[in-house]
Homo-oligomer: A and B are copies of this chain.
């Protein structure tokens, strides 16, 4: 008996115990959760509507009823991903204390930690080829982006602005690029040459703070440090 079949059996039993009727109750949310489990355990490539259905313990045709197609379901997962990323960035900003430059660097570390803790979901969020062009997705991504933008403005000693000047934008792009690139290379295993397996944590602890110091922040008002 294959593991996969075992899983399905267990889940079917679970489902049967959990509900007397075949009406699920909240299959929509359950399918999103099931998809996140599949991503976490087996990666983006392992996802299919049928795999999500198996996880949730429903028939193969059920997901289409709620999401239309695979992109529809994945888009919901990506939206939730960006919402959680935003929460992550805010929490890590605060972890940085009161000095705006330190807050920015801490937020940058948060971005990388998020990617590491949400591997496949993070990768999915930047796979537009697998996602719908949904305004809610744009809005959720925009909010994460705005979070970074605010941190950069403050680190430069400027008031937060939704429409900042080119100097700010360059630094936003640089900050985003460096943490995104680092996260992407990290998840792809490109740093395994420098730190294999067990030493990865130490490598990250030592590297990330210094990495983020290499981005030069031109301050417009007197620095707090």
Question: What residues make up the interface of A, taking CB atoms closer than 8 Å to B?
Answer: 43, 45, 126-129, 141-142, 169-171, 173-174, 176-185, 188-191, 193-194, 207, 210-211, 213-216
Distance of A186 from chain B, by nearest CB (Å): 9
User: Chain B residues near A126 (CB, 8 Å)?
Assistant: 184-185, 188, 190
Q: Are B128 and A189 in contact (CB under 8 A)?
A: yes
Residue among B127, B129, B188 making CB contact with A128, cutoff 8 Å? B188
In the bound assembly, the distance between CA atoms of A191 and B171 in angstroms comes to: 14
Q: Are A177 and B182 in contact (CB under 8 A)?
A: yes
Copies of this chain: 2
User: Chain B residues near A193 (CB, 8 Å)?
Assistant: 142
Residue among B171, B191, B194 making CB contact with A214, cutoff 8 Å? B171
Distance of A131 from chain B, by nearest CB (Å): 10
In the bound assembly, the distance between CA atoms of A191 and B177 in angstroms comes to: 11
Q: Are A129 and B45 in contact (CB under 8 A)?
A: yes
Q: Are B170 and A43 in contact (CB under 8 A)?
A: no
Q: Are B211 and A173 in contact (CB under 8 A)?
A: yes
Of the A-B pairs whose beta carbons lie under 8 Å apart in the complex, a sample of 9, sorted by A's number, is A128-B189, A173-B182, A176-B181, A177-B177, A177-B178, A177-B179, A180-B184, A184-B184, A215-B215
User: Chain B residues near A215 (CB, 8 Å)?
Assistant: 174, 214-216
Residue among B43, B127, B181, B211 making CB contact with A179, cutoff 8 Å? B181
Q: Apart from A177-B177, A213-B216, what 20 extra A-B contacts exist at CB < 8 Å?
A: A45-B129, A126-B184, A126-B188, A141-B190, A142-B193, A169-B194, A171-B214, A173-B182, A174-B211, A174-B215, A176-B181, A176-B185, A177-B180, A177-B181, A177-B182, A180-B185, A181-B184, A214-B216, A215-B215, A216-B216
